[in-house]
Amino acid sequence: MEHPDLDALRFCAAALDAGQAVMLVTVVSTWGSSPRPEGSVMAIRADGAVTGSVSGGCIEDDLVHQVLEHGIRWQQPELVTYGISADEAHRFGLPCGGTLQLLLEPLHAASGIHTLLALTNQQKLVARMVDLQSGQVTLRDAVAGEKLVMDKHCLTTIWGPGWRLLIIGAGTMSRFLATVATGMGYQVFVCDPREEYRHQWDLPQVQLLTGMPDDEVLALQPDQRTAIVALTHDPKLDDLALMEALQSPAFYVGAIGSRKNNQKRRERLVEFGVTAEQLARLFGPVGMYIGSKTPPEIAISILAEMTAVKNGVVESVQWNTGAHKAQTQSKL
19-66 pLDDT, tens digit per residue, is 999 999 999 988 766 667 888 899 999 999 999 888 867 788 889 999
Judge whether 24 and 116 are in contact, CB under 8 Å: no
How high is the pLDDT of residue 23?
A: 96
How high is the pLDDT of residue 245?
A: 96
297 HSE (CA, 13 A, CB side): 8
How high is the pLDDT of residue 36?
A: 74
Judge whether 34 and 213 are in contact, CB under 8 Å: no
How high is the pLDDT of residue 85?
A: 59
- Kindly list the distances between the CA atom of residue 261 and the CA atoms of 77, 171, 214, 280, in Å, as whole numbers in the listed order: 57, 19, 20, 16
DSSP 3-state assignment of 207? strand
Query: What would the pLDDT profile of 264-306 be if each residue is shown by its tens digit?
Result: 999 999 998 999 999 999 999 999 988 888 999 999 999 999 9
How high is the pLDDT of residue 6?
A: 81
Q: Which of 327, 290, 291 is nearest to 305 (CA)?
A: 290
Measure the CA–CA gap between 172 and 293, rounded to whole angstroms.
13
Strands 126-131 and 137-141: antiparallel
How high is the pLDDT of residue 9?
A: 93
How high is the pLDDT of residue 93?
A: 56
Spans of the chain below 50 pLDDT: 1-2, 314-332
How high is the pLDDT of residue 331?
A: 34
Q: Where are the beta strands (DSSP E) in 37-136?
A: 41-45, 50-52, 78-82, 99-106, 126-131
Q: What share of the chain is helix, strand, coil (3-state, %, to 5)?
A: 40, 25, 40
Q: Which of 97, 99, 104 is nearest to 74 (CA)?
A: 104
Phi-psi region of 277 (alpha: psi -120 to 50; beta: other; left: phi over 0): alpha
Q: Which residues contact 251 (CB under 8 A, 6 or more apart)?
A: 224, 225, 226, 227, 309, 310
Helices (H), 84-200: 86-91, 113-121, 172-183, 195-198
| All structural domains of the chain | 4-119 (no CATH), 163-328 (3.40.50.720)
- Concatenating the DSSP letter of every residue in 186-197 gives EEEEEE---HHH
Measure the CA–CA gap between 56 and 18, rounded to whole angstroms.
29
How high is the pLDDT of residue 33?
A: 61
Judge whether 6 and 120 are in contact, CB under 8 Å: yes
Q: H-helix or E-strand containing 24? A: strand 22-31
- Concatenating the DSSP letter of every residue in 134-155 gives T--EEEEE--TT---EE-SSEE
Measure the CA–CA gap between 17 and 31, rounded to whole angstroms.
36
